[in-house]
Structure 1
Amino acid sequence: MRFPAVCPQCQREVQVEFADSAVHDVTCPHCSTRFCVFVRKQKFEVLFDLGTRALMDGYAREAVASFAAALERFFEFYVRSFAFERAALAGQTDFDGAADILESTWRHVSSQSERQVGMMALAYLLREGREPDFLTAKALGADFRNRVIHRGYLPRREEVDAYAARVFALIDRLLGELGTGAAHAELAQERQFAAHLAALPDGVTAVFEEHPGMFRARRFAGAGGEKLGVKNLPGQPARASAPTKATAPMNDAQAFQKALKERGPLLKGLRK
């Protein structure tokens, strides 16, 4: 899958293929300018957005594979966020040292998804102090996922919608619980970017991009901001807020469809 970038020299659009590292070394096909695009986006976000785009284009089975991979990579993101957060709370200031220990530890489970789920369960227990009730096979939609990915089942659109809603709701919930703890894993990506940036040869322009997406739009829109409203002038009595109509909470399917309607159009720039 590719995303559009703009050449810093000729200002023409260039299609760039997503790289696993989120670092993209590009040579403009129009003017031969070399530049490097750093995409500030976690892998689970990219995978979920690719799944969403596949679903929008009618590729239901391909969407399931991307959604399933997004959930696995989010569990890794959660574990990394927790590990870095715990190290910071313990007063450890050597971020690189903590990252090296985490990398060497993750290698023991990197090729076994069941062990990764086990690490996720323990990280959640230690951080939140309660059982990770979302890790049951039913809650994860494991049977549906396995039928599609391993047994060649051709799912109906409504089945994929339900699975996507389940994954979206779980990641959205856990991101909310992580809160500022997610910033520790974000910092790890920034340090990787810095290392690549320092090694760029002369004449190569660095371009940093912040792509919209199903989760990123929610995480960063209005972060830390307050609602805008009519302010009281000095000496005036406080104005009563207008009553708001109570709305029933949305279920997973409704929340996903709402997000899809609001943020799906932001993904139309992605191409095969």
Structure 2
Amino acid sequence: MRFPAVCPHCRREVQAEYADSGIHDLTCPHCGNRFTLYLRKHKFEMLFDLGTRALMDGYAREAVASFAGSLERFFEFYTRAATLERASGAGEDFADASARLELAWRLMAAQSERQLGAFSLAYLWREGEAPDFLTPQALGSDFRNRVIHRGYLPPRAEVDAYAARVFALIDRLLTRLGEAAAHAQLEQERTYAAHLAAQPPEVIAVFEEHPGMFRVRRFGGRVGSKTGQTKNLPPTPANDAAAFQLALRERGALLGQVLRKG
């Protein structure tokens, strides 16, 4: 998938391909000048938005893979946010805590079961209760495995139900995280700052935040109003399908404008 960017030198549109790191080193095809675009969006958000766009375009099987990847990367996001929040509460230096977390995560980066175990403990420490929602039935694991590993071609209704389940779980946990999500956001900002510091002065930095299905949830369940103040968001509907369809109606058109095939 690609997205449109605007060259800060000549103000003309440039097509960029999403980068895994969120950092896009670009050269304008019109004026030849270089610039770097930093996308303030986490991996789980990007994957879910890509899945939503695939679903809207009729690619049901591809959508399932993106939704499943989004959930896994959200568990990592939650684990990082909760761990850094805990370190901050203990008065630890953020850079030191982040470095230790990165070393620990490398031990499980290629093993999803270990990552799920790390998330379970992080949730237990933070919420004081076991994550009883991690059952295969609740996560739709059998459906996911049939699609991804056994080549099952799912009908749209089954993909809608899976997407709604993943959406509701991530949305619920983001709301529970609240302002703790800012710790994971700070990790991303530090990565961007380090990259920016290494760039030559002629390379202009552009920071963007694209609309998405979870866009407003990254700031503790609060969103800015036109007056610059903040307001609480309404709670997610209890019905998984209703919550997902509501978000799709509200934000689907924006995703279609930002995400482009090719």
- What is the TM-score normalised by the length of structure 1? 0.89
Change (3 A) 1:218 1:115: closer
What residue is the counterpart of 2:161 in the other structure? 162
Distance of 1:192 and 1:261 partners within structure 2: 34
What residue is the counterpart of 2:55 in the other structure? 55
Unaligned ranges ≥5, structure 1: 228-247
Q: What CA deviation, in whole Å up to 9, does each residue of 1:145-170 have, x standing for no partner?
A: 00000000000000000000000000
Conservation of the 8 A alpha-carbon contact between 2:237 and 2:243: no
Distance of 1:20 and 1:249 partners within structure 2: 32
Backbone CA RMSD of aligned residues: 1.5
Alignment of 1:26-65 (within 5 A): 26-65=26-65
Equivalent AA in structure 2 for residue 119 of structure 1: A
What residue is the counterpart of 1:192 in the other structure? 191
Give how far 1:222 is off.
2.7
What residue is the counterpart of 1:271 in the other structure? 260
What residue is the counterpart of 2:96 in the other structure? 97
What residue is the counterpart of 1:124 in the other structure? 123
Q: What CA deviation, in whole Å up to 9, does each residue of 1:177-220 have, x standing for no partner?
A: 00000000000000001000101112110000011100004545
Alignment of 1:226-237 (within 5 A): 226=231
What residue is the counterpart of 1:235 in the other structure? none
What residue is the counterpart of 2:11 in the other structure? 11
Equivalent AA in structure 1 for residue 131 of structure 2: P
Identity across matched positions, percent: 70
1:225 aligns with 2:230: yes
Aligned to 2:223, the other structure's residue is in SS state: coil
What residue is the counterpart of 1:202 in the other structure? 201
What residue is the counterpart of 1:80 in the other structure? 80
Conservation of the 8 A alpha-carbon contact between 2:216 and 2:223: no
Equivalent AA in structure 1 for residue 254 of structure 2: L
Alignment of 1:125-140 (within 5 A): 125-140=124-139
Aligned to 1:26, the other structure's residue is in SS state: strand
What residue is the counterpart of 1:244 in the other structure? none
Distance of 1:4 and 1:267 partners within structure 2: 12
Conservation of the 8 A alpha-carbon contact between 1:61 and 1:155: yes
Give how far 1:117 is off.
0.6
Conservation of the 8 A alpha-carbon contact between 2:123 and 2:129: yes
- What is the TM-score normalised by the length of structure 2? 0.93
Unaligned ranges ≥5, structure 2: none
Alignment of 1:236-251 (within 5 A): 249-251=237-239
Conservation of the 8 A alpha-carbon contact between 1:80 and 1:185: yes
Equivalent AA in structure 2 for residue 69 of structure 1: G
Q: What CA deviation, in whole Å up to 9, does each residue of 1:111-155 have, x standing for no partner?
A: 111111111111000100011011000010000000000000000
What residue is the counterpart of 1:67 in the other structure? 67
1:258 aligns with 2:246: yes
Aligned to 2:32, the other structure's residue is in SS state: coil
Distance of 1:52 and 1:68 partners within structure 2: 12
Aligned to 1:81, the other structure's residue is in SS state: helix
Conservation of the 8 A alpha-carbon contact between 1:217 and 1:263: no
- Highest CA radius of gyration, 1 or 2? 1
Distance of 1:217 and 1:164 partners within structure 2: 19
Distance of 1:187 and 1:67 partners within structure 2: 25
